[in-house]
Amino acid sequence: MRPLPDATQTPQGRGVIDQLVRTIRPPQPAVESLAQISNVGPLKPAELPPAGKSFLYVKLLGGRAFSDFVARPPFPGEQLHLSLELFGQRFTTQPVPAAAEPAFAGEALFELPTAVPGGGSDPLQLLALRHGLHLVVTALTPMAAHGLDTLAGAHGGMPASTAPAGMLTLQLELRPHFSAPLDEALLRSQQRLEHARDADVMAAFAWWGDYVSQNLAFKARPIKVLAAGEDGSQYPVCCFVRPLQLGRGLASAREAARFVSLLRRREDLTALPTGGQSEVAECWCLLHTVLASGTATKEEMALLLCSLLLGFGLDAWVVVGRLVDGTGHSWVMTRGPLASPCFWEPGTGVRYEITDVDQWPYQSVGCVFNHLRLYANSQCDDSAFGTSYVLEDTTLWRELPMPPQELPAMPWSAIPLARSPISDAQALEAHLEAGLRAAAVQHRRQVLGVEGSTAWDDGLAHLLMPALNAYEHEAVHSEVAPGNDEFQQAIKRAVPLGWVFKAMPQHHGHTSVELMRKAMVEEDQMLDIMGTTASTAAFALRVKVFAYPEGLTSVWLMLAVKYNALT
């Protein structure tokens, strides 16, 4: 390998990139992602770095061999979007037309940690630590194409999926250069130490054989010790959990659970047509991939939720077990006094206390783990209710300690969450209401003909807002929201004696009028309301948008009607 100061040629492939940037200490929290490639701070790539600071200069020179678009032509309007992350600093390109050779272009400066006071980064310090430049390409497909019914709020109202495999051409350069070439023998020695450390950790998994030898029935239990990372390598599951404090965007553990629940399930995106060769084996993706795509598998949701709960100071664990129908599942447990469990369902944000055992959707528990250790359930009764969660009892749980300093390194960064791109939620609500009102009027005309005239009651619509706020409160806090009495009183005063009041709420994780319209006409109760033919019918519709970081949204709408039952 040539000395680092000479590494200004165009390297291709993950190995060269890792050798250049894999071993750098994460700096202070970075700025949120930008709309296009540019420097996070005031410094521009063309400017000289300030004294005492070092940077990794990255220049995009395009992509090639994106296999899906060799096997098929891009769909109309299909685009590719590239995100880069290093030490929590994030850059994104403008979407480019999908092609086998996408025209990614741009440049950025990633600030490197200062290991020497008053000077730039020390190459010896860089060798001692491990980190990698992380890149994510997502495919953006217009909703109209192929009848797709998903979208990502953070991606311009288009669905995003993991893009096909391809190659990116980058130019990497350290600014300023090191004052002296890095000793190549020292580099090789450090690499050998890292490989030896990884091998020692992997050899520790003879533990599995010892665990099964206790009871052959344990072999059928869902125990997860290793998982595939994005690079295809096997890592101990504890590598995928880390206490995360991602800025001010999430104010509580329950808000964090709600945030995770709003991510779209990657398993639900199988309808996205690929038609190429991009299908890959299951892997657990990193935080940057989840945030860049706005999607996650059920396992990644559990990993992220556990990491966030650890960041809020809770005793949090990922649980691997089975649902009541016998299917494998992952969820999160926090322990309270006397090791009493509280289960958090990542896909919904619902919390299940020990007093809610009759509502638990979980059948059995195989193992639990976090960033420090893994415990396998050694109890004869492995049911979720019958299991004791005193993990420290060695007669009930078999521990596999995983000290962080001995775990294989992964390119983890604490990435401050980007603020919501929704700057005016009230204007967005008004826009959605106008579109949905028009859709309701059109539906009534098509179904009822001349009888489908529609009168709207803005006063009644205003009274629906407390209910929409209450729905989101209940989704976040898993408890009945205050104010229900006032809402009931207001509706009774607004609906005359002898009149009928009907209302139906819906929840959406996007801001697409078309998808909301489609959901309305697929709901029987919505159709019943829109089909009201009474001459005194007055309709009301209200939309409430709750904006979360990273472009995730929780949208509640309610359609209502009141009419005289005697006419």
Q: Is 28 helix (H, G, I), strand (E, B) or coil?
A: coil
> Does the pLDDT value for residue 197 go beyond 70?
no
Residue 497's domain is classified under what CATH number? Answer: 3.40.33
Regarding whether 200 and 143 lie in a shared domain, the answer is: no
Regarding whether 542 and 397 lie in a shared domain, the answer is: no
The answer as to whether 420 is a domain residue is no
CB atoms within 10 A of CB 171: 15
Q: Report phi then psi at 99, rounded to 5.
A: -165, 165
* Distance between CA atoms of residues 327 and 156, nearest Å: 35
* Distance between CA atoms of residues 513 and 301, nearest Å: 27
The answer as to whether 414 is a domain residue is no
Regarding whether 557 and 538 lie in a shared domain, the answer is: yes
The answer as to whether 73 is a domain residue is yes
Domain boundary among 134, 160, 182: 182
CB atoms within 10 A of CB 189: 12
Q: How confident is the model at residue 244 (pLDDT cuts 50, 70, 90)?
A: very high
Regarding whether 159 and 24 lie in a shared domain, the answer is: yes
* Distance between CA atoms of residues 32 and 44, nearest Å: 17
Q: Report phi then psi at 56, rounded to 5.
A: -100, 120
**What pLDDT was estimated at residue 450?**
64
**What pLDDT was estimated at residue 195?**
65
Domain count, the chain: 3
Q: How confident is the model at residue 17 (pLDDT cuts 50, 70, 90)?
A: very low
Closest CA to 121 of 4, 206, 219: 4
Q: How confident is the model at residue 542 (pLDDT cuts 50, 70, 90)?
A: very high
pLDDT digit string (tens) for 294-343?
A: 999 999 999 999 999 999 999 999 999 999 999 999 999 999 998 999 99
E strands of 101-239, at which residues?
Answer: 105-112, 134-140, 160-162, 167-175, 226-228, 234-236
How far from the centroid of its chain's Cα atoms is residue 364's Cα?
26
What is the DSSP secondary structure assignment for residue 407, as one 8-state letter?
S
Torsion sign over Cα 436, 441, 442, 448: positive
In whole angstroms, how far apart are CA 252 and each of 132, 185, 241, 258, 313? 30, 49, 19, 10, 10
CB 309 within 8 A of CB 252: no
- Using the structure block, give the residue that is written with the tokens 């408890």: 479
3-state SS of 197-208 is HHHHHHHHHHHH
The answer as to whether 411 is a domain residue is no
Regarding whether 92 and 20 lie in a shared domain, the answer is: yes
Strands of 54-64's sheet, edge to edge?
A: 105-112, 54-64, 167-175
Q: Report which residue type is found at 542.
A: R
Residues 6+ apart with CB under 8 A from 137: 63, 80, 81, 82, 83, 163, 166, 168
The answer as to whether 412 is a domain residue is no
- Using the structure block, give the residue that is written with the tokens 């250069």: 177
Top mean-pLDDT range of 85-94, 160-169, 330-339:
330-339
**What pLDDT was estimated at residue 198?**
61
Closest CA to 320 of 309, 333, 304: 333
Count the residues in the chain: 567
The answer as to whether 512 is a domain residue is yes
CB 157 within 8 A of CB 511: yes
Global pTM? Answer: 0.82
**What pLDDT was estimated at residue 127?**
65
* Distance between CA atoms of residues 444 and 453, nearest Å: 7
CB 512 within 8 A of CB 143: yes
187 burial type by CB count under 10 A (0-12 exposed, 13-18 middle, 19+ buried): middle
Pairing of strands 167-175, 226-228: unpaired
CB 95 within 8 A of CB 82: no
> Does the pLDDT value for residue 184 go beyond 80?
no
Query: DSSP letters along 440-483, please?
Result: HHHHHHHHHGGG----B-HHHHHHTHHHHHHHHHHHHHSSPPTT
The answer as to whether 91 is a domain residue is yes
End-to-end CA distance of the chain: 87
What's the token pair of residue 32?
């949120």
CB 369 within 8 A of CB 330: no
Regarding whether 8 and 157 lie in a shared domain, the answer is: yes
Regarding whether 275 and 252 lie in a shared domain, the answer is: yes
Cα-Cα-Cα-Cα torsion 333, 334, 339, 343, nearest 10 degrees, comes to: -40
Regarding whether 238 and 177 lie in a shared domain, the answer is: no
Choice among 103-112, 188-197, 407-416 with the minimum mean pLDDT: 188-197
* Distance between CA atoms of residues 241 and 352, nearest Å: 22
Give the domain range for residue 380.
187-406
Q: How confident is the model at residue 158 (pLDDT cuts 50, 70, 90)?
A: very low
Regarding whether 115 and 8 lie in a shared domain, the answer is: yes
Residue 255's domain is classified under what CATH number? Answer: 3.10.620
Domain boundary among 157, 182, 207: 182
The answer as to whether 413 is a domain residue is no
What's the token pair of residue 392?
């420290």
Regarding whether 465 and 540 lie in a shared domain, the answer is: yes
CB 88 within 8 A of CB 413: yes
Closest CA to 107 of 61, 70, 67, 60: 60
Regarding whether 457 and 369 lie in a shared domain, the answer is: no
Regarding whether 151 and 288 lie in a shared domain, the answer is: no
Domain boundary among 131, 154, 182: 182
What's the token pair of residue 11?
């390297």
pLDDT digit string (tens) for 484-517?
A: 899 999 999 999 999 999 999 999 999 999 999 9
